[in-house]
Structure 1
Amino acid sequence: MRARGAGALPDLGPAAVRRECAPDCPGRPGTPGTPAPPGRFLARAAAVTALLTAAGSLCGLLRDQMLAQLFGAGRDTDAFLVAWTVPETAATLLIEDAMALLLIPAFGHALSARAAASDEARTWPADARDPVRTLLAATLPRLLGALACGSALLALGAPVVVRLLAPGLPDPAPAVACTRLTALTVLTFGTAGYLGAALRAHRSFAAPAAIYVAYNAGILGTTLALHSAWGVRAAAAGVAFGGVLMVLVQLPACVRQLPLHVRQLPTGVRQLPGHVRRLSGHVRRLPGRDGRLRRAIRPRASRPPLLGLALLAPVVCFTLSRQSQVLVERFLGSSLPAGALSHLNYAQKVAQLPMVLSLMLCTVTFPVVARAVADGETARAGRRVERDLTLAGLVVLLGGAYVGACAPQIVALLFQRGAFTAADTAATASVLRVYALGLLGHSLVGALIRPFFAAARPTWYPAAAMAGGLLITVVAGAYAVRWWGAHGIVAANAAGITVTALLLLHGLGARVPALDVRRVAAGLGRLVLAAAVAAAVGGPLAATVAAPLPGAAAGALLVPAVFAGTALAVRAFEVRRLLLAVKGKLAHVR
């Protein structure tokens, strides 16, 4: 970096913005105390996220095991699962998708504005405010008010909601009682999602990744303490308490990272990029230390346009359409014999584990992609997205192959105890194998949607693609449920989400020139072939072991070995690169 004179203005090009980050942007290269290069920082952040996500998934499995043992797969569990739709939808809308897709790019632009305005030699006038704090002040109070109203309305309208979600329930009263308890998650999940998005944009990943550990711990503790007196309502009360813990676990990090106090920013800044001016406010001239007039940013007091209705509407429509696939399952499954909803739920919980693991890296890199787009570096963002898609596909296909091959052993090992019988195991395992067919589609949709909204510009293409997939799910599911029951519902879900993933991949290739769609599709095709061979070979071999634990362990060895061998045989370079990277790490450790 070249030296600057006392009266010279800082270089505010995109490269300089990345070099000279604000002091409280943790993890940015050039920040005091964090000299690690971006790749090493992303690796550490991904490792922390992986550990905490794995811990949260383990707690979730313990939760599901406890529910299966205490309540089995009958009418009470079906009633709770109808109420469970509320936190499921709230998690997707307010934590995992909509809130993150809206706020991470918005905070990325605010941080870019702060970094572009950074000049330690000057201070702003007393009425100037930090762009990040301006964003917080303009959005958080309004959001909390809206979420509180939503929770209250949902609790009051619980009978109507249950009737709409599961009209086939013989006795809706337990489901209504549980729904009124879980309605609190609209407020708590929304708050937790907002805080998590803000922390991730500031490159703080530990607290947001820990929320599901706290959430499931709350469910476990409350259910164990109250199930004797409250029955299945204890689980719903645990959901409500777990949501409160999700907020509390992030508060210490928020106090450290977010500018909750008035922060004075530097003046003497020359012309800034257009997105910075739009976010931070109008530009006016202020006297610098040498007496000359300098251009500086003065933040607006109004709501930032990055979070206007034009951007909010397509994100919400996409998220609701995606979550509606679960609602379609609940609706169609409510007409099936008692326990069908429970079998669908337990199979879905196991199938989600590979998908969650595959999207961990995308969760970490999304702030990086959003910041690169904010700085105008679309080529770097495109390369990052291509690597993320390939790695996500590799992880989810390997996990899907294992789930498909060893479904009976996995379900028996996890759930077959207490009120959960061997017949429940067989039914859940058969549904789980069908779920595995749609795992790649679900993972790709989760990875592809992020770059669509990284630029903080409104686009309706993802919502339209998701609506097309949902239409396929509804039509195919309504027909297939008559002939194949729960299996037909799940197969329709897999078909719909796969079509959505293909549409999103095609659309993103047209919008991001650096993304080679054909190369990504060819690589994923080779990995799909490797996963199919691994499931076909590993499943029968694992089934030769009678006991669930040794059978699942044998599958855990056989399926990855067959997957890797087949992938190398068909020249899946993604697996070869991964194996070489692991080999290099092990050699470095020795």
Structure 2
Amino acid sequence: MALLRSIATVGGYTLLSRVTGFARDILVAGMLGAGTVSDAFFVAFRFPNLFRRLFAEGAFQAAFVPIFAGLLETEGRDQARQFARRAFSVLALILLAFTALIEVLMPVAMYVIAPGFDAVPGKMELATELTRIAFPYLLFISLVSLQSGVLNSLGYFAAPAAAPILLNLTLIAALVGFTPLMETPGHALAWGVFAAGVIQFAWLVWHCRRAGMSIPPIRPRLTPRVRLLGRRIVPVVLGGSLYQINLLVGTILASLVSDGAVSWLYYADRVTQLPLGVVGVAVSTALLPLLSRRLKAGQWDAARHDQNRALEVALLLTLPAAAALMVIPGPIIGTLFERGAFTAADTAATAAALVAFASGLPSYVLVKILAQVFFAREDTATPVRVAAAAMAANVILNLILMQVWGHVGIALAAALANWGNAVALAVILHRRGQLGLDDRFRARLPRIAVATAVMGGGLWAGAWALADPLAAGDAARIGALAALVVGGMAVYGGAAQLTGAARVGEIRAMLRRRTVTDQAPAAD
């Protein structure tokens, strides 16, 4: 399967997921604003998602996919399926025990992850209650992650990438349909999170069966391969999940800054997640199974080529995205969220955090890609050492910068720490001879930078010209922001063509290209 084709499939569905996610967040912002109930729900939502990204998406997929893809390449589907069933059963048992333990210890956990909530009467109790409702989501979504790894290794990318859309639609339905029946809108959303986990799990069970790779549980056994999976998971928890750990540290410290700071950082992060998800998740998801199979087959030159193209596509899309978020943060946040309980002051605070987060956007994507290069080579120890240093730097920077810039300093610290992580990973891979940048990449990078600068200038001029409609009512704001987005894309596309940063014909050819050995099944 052509790498760019796989990226386009995952990216397309992820884009749709982000769009429905924005619709969800716009609705949440209008009904909850930025205050006690919203802060409590976002902690309740982020807590199981933290563990999901640490153990499921971050550690589990990074450790599981190379083993599963390697078995597919060398021993066939039957052995790969047997390994997946064993892993499914052991993971489910561990998650059941872990979920039960956290439910019991939830009041203590809340004092750890949101200590500042205790200063507002009733806020700590509300956060504890909502988190208890939402936390079982971890069990279902972690099993979803295993099924996604199976499908991705088989070349089926659409169904796993579409699963988050079900989460957003379920939360919208819960907020609109069940809020009148609940104590607060936060309760409706928390129950929606629980239901979404069940729905996503059922969705991928069906698609695994369609792909001829159903993985019903069997008696849990710690076979040699399952033990190997466990040994690889432990270090990847840190190596592949720095971004989420940084967010948790930010949440803890933001709860100490001011009422609403957790929500400002959440909304700013959600906007950053659009390009990060569409590009970073798409590229890393497509790259890991492909790279794992290339290396197992001894196709070293093809693996190096795929790495370079992944980096090229990532920077081609994330550099202009970062520039756009930094040039017009106010119009973006104001148009998306400023209505109902979300005030102009909330817009200004969130926009400032967005600029800081956006400055690190390319590094977030680079870390995702570079980590896959280590994982595909079954090296999970090196990213741990790098991540540990970066996390320490993040905590130190947080404590320093929050004293100067409050919640904005928290966002900036996360960006700076992640840049350090990306640079360190790249240097180590280069010294090992595993990250040779080819001539095409070296030629394209400065051209991408020039095209990005041209687009940034165009957006700045456009925002100045559209200042009045951007400050008017919803209809005028939406129209003006749409004009800025479309205009910025047109300017960047034209500049990329003129500078040679990207060619339309070349992209079309790469999207059509499919090899005999890498053809994906047609069912998806």
Corresponding position of 1:208:
160
1:138-174 deviation per Cα after TM superposition (whole angstroms, max 9, x unaligned): 2111110001111111111111111001111123001
| Aligned 8 A contact 1:65 1:415 in 2 | yes
Higher relative contact order, chain-length normalized (CA < 8 Å, sep 6+):
2
Q: 1:543 to 1:307 in 2, by over 3 A?
A: farther
1:203-230 deviation per Cα after TM superposition (whole angstroms, max 9, x unaligned): 1112101110111111111222222223
| Aligned 8 A contact 2:148 2:204 in 1 | yes
AA of the residue aligned to 1:509: H
| Aligned 8 A contact 1:415 1:425 in 2 | yes
Deviation at 1:481, TM superposition (A): 0.6
Structure label with greater radius of gyration: 1
Instruction: State the distance in 2 between where 1:481 and 1:518 align.
Output: 42
Deviation at 1:312, TM superposition (A): 2.1
Unmatched 5+ stretches in structure 2: 470-476, 512-524
Instruction: State the distance in 2 between where 1:81 and 1:329 align.
Output: 13
Q: 1:584 to 1:74 in 2, by over 3 A?
A: same
| Aligned 8 A contact 1:506 1:517 in 2 | no
**How does the TM-score come out when normalised to structure 2?**
0.87
State yes or no: 1:178 paired with 2:93: no
AA of the residue aligned to 2:388: A
Q: Which moved more, 1:412-421 or 1:496-505?
A: 412-421
1:510 to 408, 413, 431: 431
State yes or no: 1:324 paired with 2:240: no
Q: 1:47 to 1:391 in 2, by over 3 A?
A: closer
Corresponding position of 2:141:
189
1:432 to 322, 329, 354: 354
AA of the residue aligned to 2:23: L
AA of the residue aligned to 2:28: L
1:155 to 103, 119, 126: 103
Instruction: State the distance in 2 between where 1:467 and 1:518 align.
Output: 33
AA of the residue aligned to 1:552: L
Deviation at 1:514, TM superposition (A): 6.1
Q: Which moved more, 1:237-246 or 1:106-115?
A: 106-115
| Aligned 8 A contact 2:40 2:126 in 1 | yes
Corresponding position of 1:550:
479
1:273-292 matches, within 5 Å, as none
1:471 to 392, 404, 419: 392
Instruction: State the distance in 2 between where 1:207 and 1:510 align.
Output: 38
Instruction: State the distance in 1 between where 2:440 and 2:39 align.
Output: 44
Corresponding position of 2:35:
74
Deviation at 1:259, TM superposition (A): 4.1
- Greater helix percent: which structure? 2
State yes or no: 1:400 paired with 2:325: no
| Aligned 8 A contact 1:165 1:327 in 2 | yes
Corresponding position of 1:23:
none
Deviation at 1:490, TM superposition (A): 1.0
SS at match of 1:335: helix
1:559 to 472, 488, 507: 488
Deviation at 1:73, TM superposition (A): 0.6
Instruction: State the distance in 2 between where 1:375 and 1:314 align.
Output: 26
Instruction: State the distance in 2 between where 1:414 and 1:388 align.
Output: 31
Q: 1:539 to 1:91 in 2, by over 3 A?
A: farther
Instruction: State the distance in 2 between where 1:470 and 1:477 align.
Output: 10
1:447-526 matches, within 5 Å, as 447-455=369-377, 457-513=378-434, 515-516=436-437, 520=441, 523-524=444-445
Instruction: State the distance in 2 between where 1:79 and 1:473 align.
Output: 24
State yes or no: 1:98 paired with 2:59: yes
| Aligned 8 A contact 1:406 1:543 in 2 | no
State yes or no: 1:240 paired with 2:201: no
Instruction: State the distance in 1 between where 2:137 and 2:297 align.
Output: 36
Instruction: State the distance in 1 between where 2:439 and 2:507 align.
Output: 27
| Aligned 8 A contact 2:84 2:215 in 1 | no
Deviation at 1:565, TM superposition (A): 6.0
Instruction: State the distance in 2 between where 1:490 and 1:506 align.
Output: 25
Corresponding position of 1:136:
84
Deviation at 1:303, TM superposition (A): 3.4
Instruction: State the distance in 2 between where 1:543 and 1:510 align.
Output: 46
State yes or no: 1:62 paired with 2:23: yes
Corresponding position of 2:298:
376
Deviation at 1:317, TM superposition (A): 2.4
1:234-273 matches, within 5 Å, as 234-260=188-214
Deviation at 1:47, TM superposition (A): 3.7
| Aligned 8 A contact 1:407 1:432 in 2 | yes
Instruction: State the distance in 2 between where 1:105 and 1:338 align.
Output: 44
1:16-47 deviation per Cα after TM superposition (whole angstroms, max 9, x unaligned): xxxxxxxxxxxxxxxxxxxxxx33xx555444
SS at match of 2:94: helix
| Aligned 8 A contact 1:343 1:431 in 2 | yes
Aligned-pair identity in percent equals 29
AA of the residue aligned to 2:489: P
Q: 1:352 to 1:260 in 2, by over 3 A?
A: closer
Corresponding position of 1:314:
235
SS at match of 1:203: coil
Instruction: State the distance in 2 between where 1:517 and 1:383 align.
Output: 8
Instruction: State the distance in 2 between where 1:179 and 1:348 align.
Output: 20
SS at match of 2:352: helix
**How does the TM-score come out when normalised to structure 1?**
0.78
Instruction: State the distance in 2 between where 1:492 and 1:529 align.
Output: 27
Instruction: State the distance in 2 between where 1:526 and 1:155 align.
Output: 52
Unmatched 5+ stretches in structure 1: 1-37, 116-128, 263-299
Q: 1:222 to 1:468 in 2, by over 3 A?
A: same
Instruction: State the distance in 2 between where 1:306 and 1:113 align.
Output: 20
User: What's the C-alpha RMSD, in Å, of the aligned pairs?
Assistant: 2.6
